[in-house]
Amino acid sequence: MHSTSRRRLAAAALSTAVCLTGAACSSGSGGSDSQGAADGTYTIWDPYPQFAKGSAWTKLLDKCGTEAGVKVKRTGFDTSDLANKTLLAAQQGNSPDVLIVDNPVVSTLAEAGVLTTTDDIKLDTSKVDPNLLAAGQSDGKTYGTPIGANTLALYYSKKVLKAAGVDVASIKDWLSLTAALGKVKRAGKKGITFSAIGTEEGSFQFLPWFWGADAKLTQLDSTQAESALALWKDWLKQGYAPNSVLNNTQTTSWQEFATGDYAFGENGTWQLANAKKAGLDYGVLPIPAATQGTASAPTGGEFVTVPVQEDTGRYATTKKLTACLTSTQNLYDTDTTLSYVAPTSEVQDKQVAANAELKPWVEAVKSAKGRTSDDLGTKYPKISEQLWKAVQSALSGSTSPKDALAAAQSAVK
């Protein structure tokens, strides 16, 4: 490996540590097998350590290996460990054959020269929704394909809204949402809860409002960005949202909503099972944009990628494994297991036909946007850090939304 490539890998390791702040997964460990070519073994690394041997996920990996005529050696890692382990493996010439990785990290690994493009291995991504595929694109090239997506929307309590005399169908923009919150408060109920914590989770939850105002991550101090931050600040000032949002993670924010006291809770598809378990009488509303329509929420979920190998003869089999994992039926099965919305309209239609409750989530995912889209790539972590700092500063009362965002833009520059 050339010295310039090594320097890129070292730099990428540092930016990855920032990019993954706030990720939530269980821990796992393992390593790749560089001798795999000799015994027909192909290695797969994924961020799903919660799935043990014998689970539906590992059975799928084995099945895809069998269909490709090889043995699969799989290791599940904690999301926060996976990218740095991948960079180290690339330095050592010991990369896995297939890497399933959180979508914001794809651009970091691509810039470090770790990943092949879909053109390199002739992988067909034509059926994937363009807005989801964009999370894995950089400089006009595509690095992998999404295995599924999750995003944010507003859970709402039918009981609380009924008591406040609010018709959820009337909520179409920020003005009507704020009016609904006012009615809820006057009825003696609580308004909305979300996560504004000073980590990536805070940025993740603020982005639908930021993008819903038509703000751009390349200009944090725009009037559009200011209007989004002013909206949140006003909600706290009016008592429509609790001060606890400053310290809320997405988990603790969900716990607040799950008490049944709140009209709305901003959260993701990953809470669907918990909503049913809690016995909540709830609905789901895509987050409205400032004036009309659905706001773009950030996409979560992973990409199936193919790391660079010295032995390029391995790619033909790796392509078979990747195509198997992302086939129509296997995407349907996997995304049902992971509570993800599929990345193709074909599979999304199957999901909604099987479970009508997924319809608003499909709508939200179709309007979603990758955090590293617009060719932000490895610039995103620094931008995100300044964004969550601005949110914290404004909501705590330390400074105005305008001044907080001006300071954020200055720091990014």
Asked if pLDDT for residue 231 goes beyond 80, the answer is: yes
Is the per-residue pLDDT at 334 higher than 70? yes
pLDDT at 275: 92
Summarize the confidence of residues 293-316 as an average pLDDT: 95
pLDDT value of position 19: 41
Would you say residue 24 has pLDDT above 80? Answer: no
Hey, what are 142's tokens? 């595509």
Q: What is the pLDDT of residue 413?
A: 86
Tally the C-alpha atoms within 13 A of residue 140's C-alpha that lie toward its C-beta: 0
Could you report the per-residue pLDDT of 124-150, keeping only the tens digit for each?
999 999 999 999 998 899 999 999 999
Instruction: State the pLDDT at residue 81.
Output: 86
Q: According to the model, what pLDDT value does residue 1 have?
A: 42
The whole-number average pLDDT for the span 333-348 is: 93
* Per-residue model confidence (pLDDT) at position 39: 57
Distances (CA, A) of 206 to 138, 144, 152, 157, 212: 24, 27, 10, 21, 10
What pLDDT shows up at residue 264? Answer: 98
User: Which of 375, 384, 381, 385 is CA-nearest to residue 15?
Assistant: 381
pLDDT at 374: 82
pLDDT at 13: 45
Share of the chain above pLDDT 90, in %: 83
pLDDT at position 337: 84
Which pLDDT score, from 0 to 100, does residue 129 have? Answer: 96
Domains of the chain plus CATH, in order, are 3-149+301-366 (3.40.190.10), 152-297+376-412 (3.40.190.10)
Residue 341: is its pLDDT beyond 70? yes
Q: How far is CA 192 from the centre of its chain?
A: 22
Task: Determine the 3-state secondary structure of 223 from DSSP.
Answer: helix
- What is the per-residue pLDDT for 176? 98
Cα dist from 156 to 23, 106, 248, 255, 282, whole Å: 25, 33, 18, 14, 5
- Give the mean pLDDT of 399-410: 98
Residue 23: pLDDT above 70? Answer: no
Q: What pLDDT, on the 0 to 100 scale, is given for residue 227?
A: 98
Lowest mean pLDDT among 9-18, 31-40, 73-82: 9-18
In angstroms, the CA 237 to CA 220 distance is 23
Q: What is the pLDDT of residues 237-257, one digit of tens each?
A: 999 999 999 999 999 999 999
pLDDT at 38 over 60: no
Kindly indicate the confidence band of residue 80, based on its pLDDT and cuts at 50, 70 and 90. Answer: confident
Asked if pLDDT for residue 351 goes beyond 80, the answer is yes
How far apart CA 83 and CA 106 sit, in angstroms, is: 9
> What pLDDT is stored for residue 242 in this prediction?
98
Residue 338, pLDDT score: 86
| Whole-number pLDDT of residue 36 | 46
Collapsed DSSP state (helix, strand, coil) of residue 6: helix
Flag whether pLDDT at 352 surpasses 50: yes
Q: Residues 83-118: pLDDT tens digits? A: 899 999 999 999 999 999 999 999 999 999 999 999
236 or 20: which carries more pLDDT confidence?
A: 236
Whether pLDDT at 306 is above 70: yes
Average pLDDT over residues 293-306: 95
Give the residue-averaged pLDDT of 174-186: 98
